[in-house]
Chains A and B, each alone.
Chain A
Amino acid sequence: MSVSFSKTECGRGIGLTRIYDDKFKSVSVYIFFVTKINKHNISSNSLISKLLITSNSKIKSRTALNKELMRLYGSSIAVASTRAGDYQMIGLCSSCLCDKFTIGREQISGKVTDMLLDCLFSPDIDENGFNEKYFKMRKQDVIDAVKASVNDKRGYAIIKARKEIYKGEPSENSAYGGLDEAVALDNKALVEEYKELLRTARVEIFVAGHSDAEKNVSRILEAFDNIPRDNIESIDYRAFSPIKPEPLSFEEKIDANQTKLVMAFKTKYDDIYANKLMAMLFGGAPFSKLFVNVREKLSLCYYCAAGFADTKNVMIVDSGTDNENCDKAKEEILAQLEALANGDFTDVELDNTKLALCTGFKSNNDTVSDMTAWYLTQFTRNEMCSPEEICERLMTVTREQIIEAAAAMKLDTVYVVSPEDKTEAANEN
C-alpha cells in the first residue's frame, strides 16, 4: 500500500486532487475557495463558511443536520480554512468512515458527500439573506472569536506583532479579522459575497483517504458544472514582505504573567528549503541554536521557537520570558543568528536538522488531513512534489546556502507584550 496522488485541472479555475491510500479507514472531501485577504473578507468568509455548515435548504435545522451526521457514524461536515501568505483558502470539508467499516457495510460516503454539496450549493437562503436566526448566532460566534484572541497571551502577542510585521499587506489581518468588521457584517451583502465566492474564486477540491472515495468524485464535479464561473481571480501566492528601512520596535502592556517577545526577520534570499532548513537549525528543533542556548544554557525561557513563512519570506521567532530578561533574550537570539551567518555550526548539526525536517515531511503520509495540507502547500509553491521528493531536494542543501540564508535575514520588527504593573493598573481604575 502506498499513497497515490493525481492532480487534474478541470477548467474554469477548478483543480481536483486525488490522494488515495487504502491503509485509511475513512474518506474525506475538501473544497477550498482561494481568495486574497482583505480587511473585510476575512470576517465575511468566516461567517459564510460557518453558516453553510449550520443548515441548508433541505435540512433547515442545525440540530437535525448534526443528528443526521451522527447517525452516519459520526461523520462530519466542517469549515475548512487555512491561509498561505496573502491568501486564504476557505470552504467546507466532509469526513466519514469508509463504507466497508460500517456495521453491515452501510453505504454512507455517498450520502455524506451529497450533504456536503447541499450545504455548499443549496444554502438556507431566502430574500432577506441567510436564515436570520442562524445569521445572528453565527455572527456572534465570529465576534466572540475575535474577542477571544486576548484569552491566550502567546497567540495574542503574535496576532499583534503580525499587524506591524505586515503593515499595509493583506497578511496583517488575523484569522477572524477585526471587531469593527465583524460587527458590521450584513446578511444581504453576505449572500452576494457568497455568490461571488462561488463564481470567481479559484477552487481546489481534494478527495482523499481510502480509494473507495473515487466513487463520489463524479457527483462533486457535476455539482460544479451547475454553477456559473467567470472572472476567476488569478493567484500569485508568493508576495515577499518588504523589509523596513530600519527595524521597528513596539511594546504593549497587558494583564499577563509573562513577557512575550516576538521578533520578525525578513529576507530577499529566495530559496524556500535553504531558508526552512536554516530556520529549523536556528530555532525549530530541541537541538536548535535557540533551544540549546536561550533555553537550556541561559534558562531564560520555556519556549523560544523560529518558523519560516515561505510565501512572505519572513522568519518569526517567539518566546516567553520574565520582563527583566527580555533584553537578554533578544540579544541572545540576535547573537545566535549571527553565529549561524558566521558558519558557527557543524556538518553533523546540519545533517541532523535535515533528518528531523524529513521526518516531519514524511509523516504527512499518515493522515488524510496532513496529506491534503501538504499538497495544498505544494500548490502555493507551484509544485506537486511528494514528501519523499522534497526530502531528496533538502538533502542537497549545502552549508554555504545555510550561511547565506542566515546572513540575508534582516531584523524587521520587534513586538513585546509585557505584564502591566497591577498596582498601577488598579490606581488608574
Chain B
Amino acid sequence: MKIEKTVFKNDKIGAEYTVFHHSSGLDIYVMKMEGFSTVNAAFATRYGSVNTTFKTSEDDDFVTVPMGIAHYLEHKLFENEDCDVFELYAKTGANGNAFTSFDQTVYTFSCTDNYLESLAILLDFVQDPYFTEASVDKERGIIEQEIKMCADSLERQCFYNLLKAMYAKHPVKIDIAGTVESIQQINAELLYKCYNAFYDLHNMILVIAGDVNEEDILSVCDSHLKKSTDKGLEVSFPDEPYEVAQPEICENFTVGTPLFNIGFKCDPAKGNDLLKKHMCANVLIQLISNSASPLYKKLYEQGLINNAFSSEVFFGEGYFACIFDGESNDPLKVRDMIIEEVERIKREGIDSESFEIIKKSAYGSLVWEFNNTEICVNNLLGAGLMKVDLFETIDILAKLTEQDLMDNIDTLFDTKRVAVSIIQN
C-alpha cells in the first residue's frame, strides 16, 4: 500500500517520531525508544461523550443520539462474534484496555513481548464490531455499576458538578458514561450507527512507542487495516452561552473536608491556536497558584486550602476551562482570593522571575516525559488527535513571552465567567 512518511525530530531532547499516512486513511505515529522493555500502543478515534449530534454523507440531516454511546461502544467492541478480546490478548501476554473521554475513545495495550501479534489483535477487533440486542442488554448492568461506582467518588462528582455549572448546553456537562436513565435507550442499532460514523480510519489514529521496528509495524498495518472511505463526518454542538450556567452549585454528601472545584470558562480553540492557548493557560495557572506562588502561600497559611489543592487546564472540542480544585472549609473565600490574584496580575503584570522559573520547570517536565513509553503514547495521541506536532509544544514554550500571557489573561481568566462547585456535609 502507498504510504507517505514524515519524520519529526527534536535534537534538544534527543527524541524523534515518524508519522505514516497510510492509504487506508489512517495516520500511524511511531516513536522508537531504544532500551525500553515495554511497548505501548493506542488506537483512537475522535469520538467521545460530547459527540452526540452528527451527520455523515449518508445522512440527510444531523441526528442526536442518547448520552453515553461512545462509552457503551468502547465496552461492546471488546466482544467479538466468537470470543472475548481479552482471551486473544491473554495469548500474547499483553495488557489490553480502553478508555472514553469527553472527545476521544482510545483502545490500548502494553506488553513486553509479541507486540506485533498484539497490534494485529488491536487493529482487528476495533475494526470488527459485533453487537446483538442480547449482548447489548447484558452490558447494561455492568455499565450501571460503573456509573454508580463513579458517583461514589466525590472528587469526580465535584468536577462533574462544576461542568454542569459552567456549561448550559454543551454536552460536556453530562457524565462520560451517560446516566443510568440515558443508557436504557441504547440498542444495537444505535451502536452500529455511531460506530459507522466515527470509527472511520480517516477519523482515527494509531500510536505506538517502544523499542519497535517501523517496517514490521507497517507490515502488520498493511495486512490488518481495512480500506476505508471518508464518510464526510460532521459534528455539531449547541450554541453555548458566553456566561456560566450558574455561578455556584452545591451538593450534600458525607465528606471529610468540603470539596471544591473552581472553573474559569474560556472560549474553545483548535489546532495550533489551541496549543498556544493551552501553553499560555498552563503557565498562567501556575503563576497564579503553584506552590511557589504568593496566592498559594496566603491560602495555605490562612488554612483555606490543604495539601489536596491543585489546578488543571481542561479542554476539548467546544470547551476550554482553567480549573482549581481542593478541600476547604470556605470554598467561596478561596474563589474570591483567586479572583483577587487574577485581578492583581492583570493590573501589575507578570513577575519576570516567576515566569522564567516556570518556563524552566515546564521544560524539565516536557523532557522528563520522554522517560516513559506510556506517557509518550499519550502525548503523541493528544498531539495527533489535535493534528499538531508534539515537539511544537517545546518551541512554543521557548518562544513564550510575558506579553503573550498579558495578551491572553483577560480571555483565559475572565472573572465574570467563574463557577464554583462544592460538596459538603
Residues of A within 8 A of B (CB): 1-2, 21-26, 50, 62-64, 66-67, 70-75, 96-97, 101-103, 133, 137, 140-141, 144-154, 254-258, 260, 285-287, 291-292, 295-296, 299-303, 320-322, 349, 352-353, 355-356, 358-360, 362-363, 365-368
Contact = CB atoms under 8 A, between A and B. Distances in A.
A21 B35 contact: yes
A284 to B, nearest CB: 11
Given A25-B368, A148-B256, A151-B154, A356 B357 contact: no
B280 to A, nearest CB: 18
Nearest to A147: B256
Nearest to B302: A137
B112 A362 contact: yes
A366 B253 contact: no
Contacts of A301: 142, 145
A368 B368 CA distance: 12
Contacts of A74: 360-365, 368
14 contacts: A2-B35, A24-B371, A66-B292, A74-B362, A74-B363, A101-B14, A137-B303, A140-B306, A149-B256, A299-B140, A320-B149, A321-B145, A362-B38, A366-B372
B306 A302 contact: no
A300 to B, nearest CB: 7
Contacts of A287: 84, 86-87, 89-90
Interface string B260-297: 00000000000000000000000000000011111011
Contacts of B357: 67, 70-71
B140 to A, nearest CB: 8
A355 B371 contact: no
B7 interface: no
Contact of B93 (A25, A50, A64, A359): A359
Interface residues on B, range: 35 or more
Given A154-B152, A299-B142, A359 B291 contact: no
A63 B141 contact: no
Given A153-B152, A286-B86, 16 more contacts: A50-B307, A67-B292, A74-B360, A74-B365, A147-B257, A153-B153, A257-B151, A287-B84, A287-B86, A302-B143, A302-B145, A355-B90, A355-B91, A355-B113, A356-B93, A359-B110
Contacts of A96: 364
B94 interface: yes
Interface string B73-91: 0000000000010110111
A63 B292 contact: yes
Given A73-B361, A367-B371, A368-B371, A140 B327 contact: no
Contact of A25 (B90, B151, B370): B370
Given A144-B257, A151-B255, A63 B367 contact: no
B146 interface: yes
Nearest to B143: A302
A46 to B, nearest CB: 11
B250 to A, nearest CB: 16
B93 A152 contact: no
B36 A366 contact: yes
Contact of A257 (B90, B112, B152): B152
Contacts of B365: 74
A320 B360 CA distance: 44
Taking each of A2, A70, A258, which has the highest tally of chain B beta carbons within 10 Å of its own beta carbon? A70
A386 to B, nearest CB: 11
B138 interface: yes
Given A63-B297, A67-B292, A150-B254, A141 B307 contact: yes
A107 to B, nearest CB: 14
B33 interface: yes
A150 B112 CA distance: 38
A50 B308 CA distance: 13
A302 B141 CA distance: 8
A375 B177 CA distance: 39
Contacts of A291: 86
Interface string B90-120: 1111111000000000000011110000000
Nearest to A70: B361
Closest 8 CB pairs of A and B: A73-B364, A147-B256, A299-B141, A355-B93, A74-B361, A23-B35, A74-B364, A352-B90
B84 A363 contact: no
A349 B87 CA distance: 9
Contact of B148 (A97, A257, A360): A257
A258 B148 contact: yes
Given A24-B371, A359-B95, A365-B37, A97 B364 contact: yes
B86 A151 contact: no
Taking each of A148, A254, A349, which has the highest tally of chain B beta carbons within 10 Å of its own beta carbon? A148
